[in-house]
Amino acid sequence: MGSWRLYATVAAGGFRRYATYRAATFAGVFTNTVFGVILVYTYLALWDEKPHLGGYDQAQAVTYVWLGQCLYSTLALQGGGAEKDVIERIRTGEIAVDLYRPADLQLWWLASDLGRSLFQLLGRGVIPFVFGALFFPMALPADVTSWAALFVALLLAMVVSFGIRYLAALSVFWLMDGMGIMQAVMITGVFCSGIVFPLNAFPGALGDLVRALPWAAQLQVPADVLMGETDPLGAYAFQATWAVVLLGAGRLLQSAATRRVVVQGG
């Protein structure tokens, strides 16, 4: 119980940390809203030419856009979460202090990132989503059960997102610099998460591949859960499987890294 209280405190600290950046939050809300409007009109034009593309009608396509803008920072689809701190602490050698703490390194940063994600969802994600619902036709459920199902999918998406970024951050134990790996995370996150274009609309074998990768658990799966396009239990199983795989891989890589710890400067 004491350990869980510790990680709950770390999560609360992550929430409060990002809540202090009010100007950045306001700018993010504005940016996500503007990009949402641009994407919506692009999607509407595309769906006029290709009705039911990817199995979505226009209202569902619009819903997908605004959910994506809601989750863009929540899930750090292009980076910008706890992995930044992990990379910097590895680079400077401060990670040695973290390893001496009476806490699990992976759980510590997972808790911190979940706190960040929750703030970004409430502080930066909700307003663009509500704006979209007010000014554009969206396929939103009327029952509480569907929204509760979405919330569970979002929690699992947060864990999957952390798992991907934590693995990338740990690579800096060997690379000694995070610039290249974070560029790769950014590009892969944009393409494979479906933030620009729904993964359901990807053709053939490429579509099958991207929908099987962990990035699909971040946006595509929650969107389909929200709009009733998939069975929630099957969606949760897909997300939970990737969460376990990624966290397990992170645990193994962390163990290997801490056995050979190389702290720059000695």
Torsional class of 53: left (φ above 0), alpha (ψ -120 to 50), beta (otherwise): beta
Amino acid at 175: L
pLDDT at 266: 46
**Residues 66, 138: contact at Cβ < 8 Å?**
yes
Per run of 10 residues, the mean pLDDT along the chain (length 266 residues) is 82 93 92 95 94 93 96 90 90 85 91 96 95 95 94 97 94 86 89 92 94 96 95 97 97 85 51
Amino acid at 25: T
- CA geometry: angle 44, 125, 55, nearest 5 deg: 35
pLDDT at 81: 87
Closest CA to 67 of 40, 87, 85, 90: 40
pLDDT at 42: 95
pLDDT at 258: 80
Across the strands, what pairs with 77? Answer: 79
Handedness of CA 173, 174, 176, 179 (dihedral sign): negative
**Residues 109, 165: contact at Cβ < 8 Å?**
no
pLDDT at 2: 58
- CA geometry: angle 232, 236, 240, nearest 5 deg: 180
pLDDT at 127: 96
pLDDT at 210: 95
Closest CA to 227 of 37, 76, 33, 57: 57
pTM of the predicted protein model? 0.93
**Residues 72, 154: contact at Cβ < 8 Å?**
no
- CA 170 vs CA 21, 94, 115, 164, 183: distances in Å: 27, 14, 20, 10, 15
